[in-house]
Amino acid sequence: MATGLDERLERYAAVAVEVGANVEAGQTVFISARIEHAPLARALTRAAYKAGARYVDVYYGDQHVRRAMIELGPDEALDYSPPWLVERWESMRGGAAIATTGDPEPTLLADLDGDRVGRASMKELSRVSMQHLQDRSLNWTGIAFPSEGWAQQMFGEPDVERLWDAIAFCTRLDEEDPVAAWREHMARLDRRAKALNALGLDALRYRGPGTALEVGLLERTRFCTALFHTAAGRPYTANLPTEEVFATPDARRAEGVVTSTKPLALLGEIVKGLQLTFEGGRIIDVQADAGAEVVRAQISTDDNAVHLGEVALVDGESRVGKTGLTFFDTLFDENATCHIAYGMAIPEGHEGDETGDGVNVSTVHTDFMVGGPELEVDGVTADGRVVPLLREDVWQPPE
Amino acid sequence: MATGLDERLERYAAVAVEVGANVEAGQTVFISARIEHAPLARALTRAAYKAGARYVDVYYGDQHVRRAMIELGPDEALDYSPPWLVERWESMRGGAAIATTGDPEPTLLADLDGDRVGRASMKELSRVSMQHLQDRSLNWTGIAFPSEGWAQQMFGEPDVERLWDAIAFCTRLDEEDPVAAWREHMARLDRRAKALNALGLDALRYRGPGTALEVGLLERTRFCTALFHTAAGRPYTANLPTEEVFATPDARRAEGVVTSTKPLALLGEIVKGLQLTFEGGRIIDVQADAGAEVVRAQISTDDNAVHLGEVALVDGESRVGKTGLTFFDTLFDENATCHIAYGMAIPEGHEGDETGDGVNVSTVHTDFMVGGPELEVDGVTADGRVVPLLREDVWQPPE
């Protein structure tokens, strides 16, 4: 058990438990992982018990089982949420949760009917998850597990060690004291968010190849980092890595076109060259070089999925960006560069708990990447002053 | 996907779904498997959807997660049943269920404290499972999946192909039409059960090396096969393979000593040379060459675990017995030879649904093997007539 591999995994799991979910002694810890992530799920379980967890509950999902449902199951199965799974998600209230990402078979669903793939989501489960976000009812985090299939997709060869190195760099495992390094990093992002809030912005303007978009901000929009707090006040880092400052846009105000700058892994497919057109805050057209159907099906899931729920700024200092890699995994790619999400607003991105009046509510939240050196981002104040925010991936406001 | 391996797995899954659980179109199918059994769980999922399942729900257990709980978790975690898992088991009512066996890491828990291992069972979940048995509320089956670790334990080398061959022989996959072969086999066992019932036995007597045991039978004891029926009348085969005829003993009447003739895989440990002493129907002493503690902890789980719940007769014609192998897996080993179970009585083994008055109720049901060529089994009628049932593994009564 004392091999190098296990030590790295143990260190990684400890950061996820201490910095990520920040598990409190006596909490029940809910781990949700794909079966291929079992080595990480097991390491997380041990780390959580060492942190004093009362009970660690691991739920393994299997994409092959999901594939069989989409391919062979009846229509009614597609958006069915088993009641016992809904109860599991409900019972996370007051607990800690860790979800793993990193797709070992990124093209597993590629040959299936895109419409059925897009409709295949446990709606009721998503609703409960979004409610937890809304209620800040648990401390949770997301963390990735490398695999041959994922490495193959990224590098064209199954070089798991190279992927491990990239993940270790992005999650600051290469630092002598990763916990301290994370604390320092999050403090810096927090200064950046505070500086943005001091500007009193009313809108963001994006300009770049295939992109000319203006997104309104609310008076109660507040830029923040992924260092969240539960309703009870416990801090946690909602995903590792994280490099963003983000905020809730005015869901009613988005005009123009935005073109994605990185592929998006969505519900088992890879969406490439995504281009969304907005009018009056709504997505009115979806184009893509690949995977448009999945996006179209997803934004039809509920009435508000066509509205925006998040705008996030990431500069060239991002460790994820510095790797120069496309991870085909939102956890990483969204932290490489600026992104936008359609669907539900994250409560941390605005003041007050009320939704509506421009704060979007949906069972969907999908981030897609729009940043890069060719993207210029400006802030616009209520009195029309234009403040450069990003130029050639360099952060412009004082930090 | 068209390799020989997948065809075999597909054929195996089809037998489990058609002959085993006998899934009805429109049923929800609950598959419970260890993560290492994923290839079988996936094949079962596909077979179930092809049989018209409304939804297939797969729950993966992970023995490493359980190990972490036993090793590092608090005492209260040991017998905790997560409410959402209890709800899953509850919602099986009216559905079909398939559980997989075959331990890929048979000694994983061997270095842990035996008392904690014995106490580590989801009590509430067991209660619900036993209630389902009692209510005949679902059609279910158990089926094994071969693995290197299991093969290593059996053969001293990780010869999975040899294990596959043995499993295929025992589950009649080697027959041209396995479904027809199973029908014929079950009819033969059924004739055997009927012949036993015609004898009007009041007790069974076991004689062999280390064994001199008399077990009482109830007036409403009925020998039967593993071809069960749900309360709604749907037939299913409760495990594959099956070679036994079994019945409910009088839980109040067991006197003497019985020595196990095969190792018993129990809660992650291997119990060897188990010897139980009975007085007034109760186990009053547990001895073993290995693993006695796990048995002692298990029979302390509730008040009635010390009483017997099943007596089963298997002769030398058993395909499992013919392999000459010890599988270290109860599903197979109990079908190689005569066995006895302490704990809960199976409703099929007696007439009427009432428990008590000699029909045991417990959250435990553990079969252990007592048969072999040196064991002589007699039946004793109420008027004292002795009827030989097994001599040198040969079935004695007319079939």
Partner-chain residue, chosen from A57, A60, A68, that has the shortest CB–CB distance to B82: A57
Q: Do B56 and A76 touch (CB under 8 A)?
A: no
- The full DSSP string for A130-153 is HHHHHHT-SEEEEEE---HHHHHH
Q: What is the pLDDT of residues A243-262, one digit of tens each?
A: 999 999 999 999 999 999 99
pLDDT value of residue B252: 98
Residue A19 has pLDDT above 70, yes or no: yes
Q: Do B49 and A58 touch (CB under 8 A)?
A: no
Provide φ and ψ at B200, rounded to 5°: 60, 50
CB of A112 less than 8 A from some CB of B: no
CA distance B28 to B88: 12
Parallel, antiparallel or unpaired: strands A55-61 and A28-34: parallel
Report the run of H or E that residue A168 belongs to, with start and end. Answer: helix A160-170
Residue B313, CA distances (Å) to A140, B241, B340, B369 in order:
53, 15, 9, 10
Question: What's the rounded mean pLDDT across residues A13-19?
Answer: 96
- The total number of residues shown for chain A amounts to 399
CB count, 10 Å around CB of B22? 21
Q: What per-residue confidence (pLDDT) applies to B398?
A: 76
Average of pLDDT values for A165-194? 95
- DSSP H stretches of helix in chain B: 4-15, 38-50, 63-72, 83-90, 114-119, 123-135, 148-155, 160-170, 178-198, 292-299, 319-322, 330-333
Do residue B56 and residue A45 have CB atoms under 8 angstroms apart?
A: no
Closest CA of chain B from A37, distance in Å: 10
Provide the 3-class DSSP secondary structure of residue B27. Answer: coil
**Exposed (0-12), middle (13-18) or buried (19+): which is B159, by Cβ within 10 Å?**
middle
**pTM of the full predicted structure?**
0.90
Residue A153's φ and ψ, nearest 5 degrees, are -65, -40
Q: Given a cut of 90, is residue B118 above it in pLDDT?
A: no
Q: How confident is the model at residue A5 (pLDDT cuts 50, 70, 90)?
A: low
Q: Is the pLDDT of residue A2 over 60?
A: no
* Chain A contact set for B42 (CB, 8 A): 62, 64-65, 68
SS3 A323: coil
Q: For A178, list phi and psi in degrees, rounded to 5.
A: -60, -35
| Distance, CA of A269 to CA of A290 (rounded, Å) | 9
Q: Where are the domains of chain B?
A: 7-170, 180-225+241-395
In this model, does residue B310 exceed pLDDT 60?
yes
Percent of chain A with pLDDT over 70: 98
Residue B395 pLDDT: 95
Rounded CA separation B135/B127 (Å):
12
**Arch. (CATH architecture) of A7-170:** 3-Layer(aba) Sandwich (3.40)
Q: What is the pLDDT of chain A when averaged over all its residues?
A: 94
**Residues B117, B120, B126, CA angle at the centre, nearest 5°?**
135
DSSP states along B269-304 = EEEBS-EEEEETTEEEEEE-SB-HHHHHHHHTSSTT
The per-residue pLDDT for B5 is 62
Model confidence over B166-204: pLDDT tens digits?
Answer: 999 999 999 999 999 999 999 999 999 999 999 999 999
User: What does the pLDDT read at residue A4?
Assistant: 59
Q: Does A76 touch chain B (CB under 8 A)?
A: yes
Q: Is B166 left (phi over 0), alpha (psi -120 to 50) or beta?
A: alpha
Residues of A in contact with B76 (CB under 8 A): 54-55
The shortest CB-CB distance from A74 to any of B45, B54, B58 is to: B54
For strand A339-343 and strand A235-237, is the pairing parallel, antiparallel, or unpaired?
unpaired
Cβ(A43)–Cβ(A1) below 8 Å:
no
Least CB-CB distance to A83: which of B64, B69, B87?
A: B87
Strand residues in A150-263 grouped as ranges (E): 201-208, 211-217, 227-229, 235-237, 245-247, 249-259
Question: Considering only CB atoms, which chain B residues are within 8 Å of A56?
Answer: 65, 68-69, 73
Question: Which of B291, B295, B264, B305 is CA-nearest to residue B112?
Answer: B291
Please state the rounded mean pLDDT for residues B371-396.
96
For A113-162, the pLDDT digits (tens) are: 988 987 888 989 988 998 998 899 999 999 999 999 999 999 999 999 99
pLDDT at res. B1: 39
How far apart (Å, rounded) are the C-alpha atoms in residues B37 and B48?
A: 16
**Overall average pLDDT of the A24-42 stretch:** 98
Q: Tell whether the model's pLDDT for residue B68 goes beyond 90.
A: yes
The residues facing A264 across adjacent strands are: A271
- Contact (CB<8Å) B41/A54: no
Interface check for A14 against chain B (CB to CB < 8 A): the answer is: no
State residue B33 phi and psi, 5-degree precision. Answer: -145, 155
Please tell me if residue A45 touches chain B, with a CB cutoff of 8 Å.
yes
β-strand partners of B29: B56, B96
Q: Which of A32, A56, A58 to mutate to test binding with chain B, by most B CBs within 10 Å of its CB?
A: A58
CB-nearest partner of B72 from A49, A58, A72: A49
B386 and A CB contact within 8 Å = no
Residue A247: strand pairing partners? A311
Task: For residue B3, name the pLDDT band (cuts at 50, 70, 90).
Answer: very low
Whether residue A3 is predicted with pLDDT greater than 50 in this model: the reply is no
Each residue's pLDDT tens digit, A182-217: 999 999 999 999 999 999 999 999 999 999 999 999
Q: Once rounded to an integer, what is the mean pLDDT over residues A261-272?
A: 88
pLDDT over 90 at B332, yes or no = yes
Q: Model confidence over A306-328: pLDDT tens digits?
A: 999 999 999 999 999 999 999 99
**Residue A84: its chain B contacts at CB < 8 A?**
84-85, 87-88, 90-91
- At residue B2, does pLDDT exceed 60? no
More confident position, A337 or B363? A337
Predicted pLDDT at A1 = 39
Subunit contact A56:B73, Cβ cutoff 8 A: yes
Confirm or reject contact between B256 and chain A (CB < 8 A): no
pLDDT band, very low/low/confident/very high, at A270 (cuts 50, 70, 90): confident
Query: In 3-state terms, what secondary structure has residue A119?
Result: helix
Integer CA distances (angstroms), A3 to A9, A10, A17, A18, in order: 10, 11, 21, 23
Which pLDDT belongs to residue B211?
98
Tell me the shortest Cα–Cα distance from B176 to chain A, in angstroms: 27
* DSSP SS3 for A207: strand
Distance between CA atoms of residues B207 and B224, nearest Å: 23
pLDDT at A133: 86
Q: Is A42's CB within 8 Å of B64's CB?
A: yes
Q: Which run of H or of E encompasses A89?
A: helix A83-90
**How sure is the predictor about B4, in pLDDT bands with cuts at 50, 70 and 90?**
low
Paired residues of A205 in beta bridges:
A214, A378
Closest-CA residue of B relative to A74 is: B54
User: pLDDT at residue B318 above 90?
Assistant: yes
Write the CB contacts of B50 (distance below 8 Å, at least 6 apart in sequence): A72, B17
Is residue B80 within 8 angstroms of chain A, CB to CB?
Answer: yes
C-alpha–C-alpha distance, residues A244 and A174, integer Å: 20
Report whether B167 contacts B263 (CB < 8 A): no
B70: closest chain A residue by CA: A49
Q: Which pLDDT band, with edges at 50, 70 and 90, does A394 fall under?
A: very high
Give the integer Cα–Cα distance in Å for A76 and A123.
Answer: 12
Backbone φ/ψ region at A161: left (φ over 0), alpha (ψ -120 to 50), beta? alpha
Which one of A35, A74, A83 has the shortest CB-CB distance to B60? A35
Cβ–Cβ under 8 Å, residues B247 and B217:
yes
Q: What's the ipTM? A: 0.88
pLDDT tens for A49-71 read 999 999 999 999 999 999 999 99
User: Is any Cβ of chain B less than 8 angstroms from the Cβ of A88?
Assistant: yes
Task: Estimate to the nearest angstrom the gap between the alpha carbon of B331 and the chain centroid.
Answer: 5
> Which one of A45, A70, A78 would you mutate to disrupt binding with B, by most B Cβ within 10 Å of its Cβ?
A45
